[in-house]
Amino acid sequence: MEYLKPLLSPLYWFNTTATPFLPLIDKMVLILLYGLLIAGIGCAVYAKYGKKMEKYLKRLLRRYASALTTAGAIGLLLYAFTWQRVPILSMRFFFVLWFVLFAYWIGTIVRFQIKELPARRKLREEQIAREKWLPKKK
């Protein structure tokens, strides 16, 4: 419980010369950020070179790829600022802001995946079924 006291202090979040993380947390944050970056690159490669994928699935994978890659790169930049103890840019508040924006971005992608994607697929299937009976150009 003693370790959680600083989290309630505004000085911890807005200190212009933030100290680096504890060694264990430092390694965990670094692994997480590299993981985000590698996952984003993996999604982008799979979306580009994947075999026989629907157009909608490729677009969804590209959205995930851009979110993960951007979050990983910006997170690593913030991590470097903290590690180098750059004044102002190493404030812990930027990590909170980074996390909130990343969560919002992923939330919009998940909302697209759950709500809009099935509706678009259904509309496309209806369009194909209707055009099946229309005369085709020669």
The sign of the torsion formed by the CA atoms of 109, 113, 115, 116 equals: positive
Q: For 19-32, what is the mean pLDDT? A: 86
Q: Which helix (H) or strand (E) holds 35?
A: helix 23-49
C-alpha–C-alpha distance, residues 127 and 132, integer Å: 8
Residue 121 or 11, more confident: 121
**pTM reported for the whole predicted model:** 0.82
- Which residues are CB-contacts of 83 (< 8 A; sequence separation ≥ 6)? 20
Q: Quick one: average pLDDT of 117-123? A: 88
Residue type at position 124: R
Q: Residue 1: pLDDT band by 50, 70, 90 thresholds?
A: low
Rg (C-alpha) for the chain, rounded Å, is 22
User: Could you please report the per-residue DSSP string of 40-61?
Assistant: HHHHHHHHHH-SS--HHHHHHH
**Domain segments of the chain as ranges:** 20-131
Task: Quote the DSSP letter at residue 2.
Answer: G
